[in-house]
Structure 1
Amino acid sequence: MADLQDELHALPEAGELPDTAQTAPFAPQPPPGDPAGQLERARGLLAAHPVIDGHSGLPWALRDLPWYDLQLGESGVDTDVLRLREGQVGALLWSLHLPERLAGERAVGATLEQLDLVRSVIAAHPEGLRLARSAGQVIDARNCGRVAVVLGPAGAAALDDSLGILRVLHSLGLRALTLAGASWAGEAGLTRFGEEVVREMNRLGVLADLSGASDATIGRALALSRTPVLCTRSAARSLRAHPDNLSDALLAELGAAKGLCLVPSSPERTGPRVQDVADHLDHVRALAGPECVGLSGAHDPGAGPDAAPGYPHLVAELLGRGWPETDVALLTWGNMQRVLRSADFAARAARERRKPSTVRITELDTTDD
C-alpha cells in the first residue's frame, strides 16, 4: 500500500479543531433526509479527527494463525490495516486480555508472549502500524500515515500480585491495565494492596481500566486515582443490562472525575444496530459530559464484525441527531488524547515525589481479604 504521509497534514492537539476549522465556519449541515450528505460530512470530520478505538482483541486472534498480512488485507481476522483506514481509525488500544482460567505464572507468561507477538506484528507491518507509548507518539504516527498501536489493557492476572511485574510490563510498552478479576479488586472494592497498585500505575503512567469491575472498585478507583480512568468496553446499564455497563450514578461520577467511558460497538453491550450504539453515546454524553465519552470496537475476536468500517456511519448518525462537530471531535480523538496526555503529565510529577513501590501483597492484605 502506498505511503500516505504526503496526503496528511499535522493534527491539532487533543480536543482542538484544525486551523482551517478555527478560522472558517463548519461545513454546512446537509438538509434533513440527506444521509449521503451526512456521511460525506462525517468522513470530512474524521479526516481531521480520526477515531482512537479503545479496545481491539486482535492479538489473541492472531496467535493461532500460521500466516497473516494485515497490510494487504486479512480474511482470518476481523481487523486489518485496510479496514482501519476505511473506518478512518487513527489509533487503537490492543487488548492483552487472557482466558479467565489462566492465573499466576501462566498468566504472566501468556501476557509476555502476547506482548512479544504484538511487537513482532508491528515490526512486520511498518507501512501501516506504529507502536505508540504516549499521546505525542500517537499524533506522530498519524502524521506519518500509520495507525498508532497503544498496548493494553492487560488483565490484572498478568501482574501475579507483583508491582515489579507491573513495572516490567510498563517498560515493554503496556499503557493500560484492567482491575477486574484481581483478588485485590473485588466486590468490596480495592484492598490496601489494590490501592497501592493504583498509586504505582499513576506513577508509571499506566491507565486503570475499570470495565467489568465492581461498583465499589470503580468508586474507590475514581476517588484514588490522580490520572483519569478508562472504562474500555462499557455502555449505559439503564439502556442495556450488561454487567460491564455502568449505572447512571457511576456515569455521573466518572464525568465528575474526568474519566472516559468508551462505548463499544457490541451487540451484547449496546445492541446490534448503529442507532443502538448512538443511543448509548447520547446517554453517556448527557450524564458524564461530552469530554468523557469515547469509542471502542468489538470486545472479543470472533464476537462479531469489526467496528472499524462502520465508524463513519456512526458519526453520520450522531451528526444527524444534532451533535456539534466539536463534541464529535472529542468523541473520536480528543478525549482519548486528553487521557493519554494526562497520564504522561501525572506520571512525571509522581516520579519526582514517589519512589517505586516494593511492597508485597502479604504485607498489606491478610488472607481473609
Structure 2
Amino acid sequence: MQFWAAYVPCESQFKDAVQLTLEQIDVIRRLTEKYHPPLTFCTSAKEIIEAHLNNQLCSLIGVEGGHSLANSLPVLRVLYSLGVRYLTLTSTCNTQWADSSLVDMPGKKPEHGGLTNFGKIIVKEMNRLGMLVDLSHVSIKTMKAALEVSKAPVIFSHSSARALCNSTRNVPDHILAKLGLNGGLVMVNFYSQFLTCRDAATVADAVAHINHIRQVAGVDSVGLGAGYDGINFTPKGLEDVSTYPALFAELISSGQWTIDELKKLAGLNLLRVLKAVEKVRDDMARSGVEPYEDTIAPKYLKGRSNCTSQEPF
C-alpha cells in the first residue's frame, strides 16, 4: 500500500489552500485510474487486504498540513468523503490551531503551546470520521496534546528517532513511550538528514532507527514511511522501493527479528492501526456522536481571513 501526500505549500494558507489540495487529490485519483488495475484506490483496511489478495497495490490519500482545511470542519469532512485517510496536523508552518515542529528549534517560540481548543476539536472530529491523526511535522507539545485527546491510535507518517538524530522532525523517546501506550505507529523516514543529521546515510542507519523505535515503543509501533516522493537525499543502498529487500536482509541478518515481526514492520502494524481507527469511528457512531460544528475563535486569526466574501448568503 502506498500513501500519496496531497501536499500544498504553507504559502497557500489564507489563500487557495483548499483549491490546491483538491487539485492534488484529483491528480492522485487520476494517477490511480490511469494505472488500474495494478494500482487500485483504497479507503479502508478491508479494501487494502482485498487488494493484496488480488496482487494489486493500494493507492491511499493523506493530506500533509492542517492549513489545507482553512480552519473549517466541513472541509475536513469533505476531504474524508473524497478518500483522504490521514491528515498531518501541520506542515512546515503553524496553523491557527496547532504548532509545527519549527517552534521547537533554537530561538523559536510556540504560538499556541500545542493544540488550541479548536485543534482538539479537529482531532475529535477525525476520530469520529475514522481519519488517521498524523503527527509528523508537529511540535512536541502538539504531539502530547494530540495523544491526550485522541481516542484512536495516532501515526507519524514519516518521522524517525530523535535520540539518534536531533532533528525537530524526529520523535523523542518520551513521546515514543506514550505512543506505545496509545497503540500508535512511527513510520520511519529514510531522508538522510533525519537519519544521521547529514546528507549521507546507509541501510544500517535506517535499521538503527527502526530498532530504536522498536526498543522504546514496541515492535507493534514501528513501520516504514520512507518519503521517497519528497526527500532530497536517500541512504546508500536505499534509493527507492526496489531496494527494500536490502533493508529486510539487514534486519534478518541481525537475528533480532522473526518473520512475523518483519510482517508487522512491512505493513501489518499500519493495518492494525487503521482497523483500530475504524473501530473508534464505528463505536462513536453507535454512541450517537454528532458531527462537531465548532468554528475557530476570531482571536486566533489575528485579523487574517481567507480571500472570500464574509457574508456569502
Residue identity in the other structure for 1:149: S
Residue identity in the other structure for 1:101: E
Structure 2 counterpart of 1:341, from 267, 275, 278: 275
Match of 1:194? 119
Structure 1 counterpart of 2:74, from 164, 167, 184: 164
Distance (Å, rounded) in 2 between the aligned partners of 1:154 and 1:196: 18
1:113 deviates by 0.2
Structure 1 counterpart of 2:132, from 204, 207, 216: 207
Structure 2 counterpart of 1:318, from 242, 251, 257: 251
RMSD value, Cα: 1.8
Distance (Å, rounded) in 2 between the aligned partners of 1:150 and 1:358: 27
CA contact (8 A) 1:235 1:261 kept: yes
Structure 2 counterpart of 1:183, from 96, 100, 104: 96
Structure 2 counterpart of 1:227, from 133, 152, 156: 152
Match of 1:291? 220
Distance (Å, rounded) in 1 between the aligned partners of 2:10 and 2:195: 23
Greater mean deviation of Cα atoms: 108-117 or 291-300 = 291-300
Distance (Å, rounded) in 1 between the aligned partners of 2:83 and 2:279: 17
Match of 2:265? 331
Q: Deviations over 1:105-153 (max 9, x none)?
A: 4110100001111111111111321110000101111112210011103
Distance (Å, rounded) in 2 between the aligned partners of 1:114 and 1:351: 30
1:351 deviates by 2.3
CA contact (8 A) 2:132 2:155 kept: yes
Distance (Å, rounded) in 1 between the aligned partners of 2:165 and 2:97: 28
Greater mean deviation of Cα atoms: 91-100 or 215-224 = 91-100
Q: Deviations over 1:58-86 (max 9, x none)?
A: xxxxxxxxxxxxxxxxxxxxxxxxxxxxx
Residue identity in the other structure for 1:224: V
Task: Note if 1:150 corresponds to 2:52.
Answer: no
Residue identity in the other structure for 2:204: Q
Q: Choose between structure 1 and 2 for higher RCO, CA contacts under 8 A separated by at least 6 residues.
A: 1
Partner SS, residue 136 of structure 2: coil
How do 1:34-49 and structure 2 match up within 5 A? Answer: none
Residue identity in the other structure for 2:88: T
Distance (Å, rounded) in 2 between the aligned partners of 1:270 and 1:135: 30
- Provide the TM-score with structure 2 as the length reference: 0.85
Partner SS, residue 224 of structure 2: strand
CA contact (8 A) 2:139 2:168 kept: no
Partner SS, residue 148 of structure 1: strand
Structure 1 counterpart of 2:18, from 108, 121, 128: 108
Task: Note if 1:361 corresponds to 2:271.
Answer: no
Match of 2:107? none
Task: Note if 1:268 corresponds to 2:197.
Answer: no
CA contact (8 A) 2:96 2:300 kept: no
Distance (Å, rounded) in 2 between the aligned partners of 1:317 and 1:213: 31
- Where do 5+ consecutive residues of structure 2 fail to align? 100-109, 304-313
* Fraction of identical pairs, as percent: 34
Structure 1 residues 364 and 354, CA, compared in 2 at 3 Å: closer, same or farther? farther
Match of 1:48? none
Partner SS, residue 152 of structure 1: strand
CA contact (8 A) 1:111 1:154 kept: no
- Where do 5+ consecutive residues of structure 1 fail to align? 1-90
CA contact (8 A) 1:233 1:296 kept: yes
Distance (Å, rounded) in 2 between the aligned partners of 1:101 and 1:365: 18
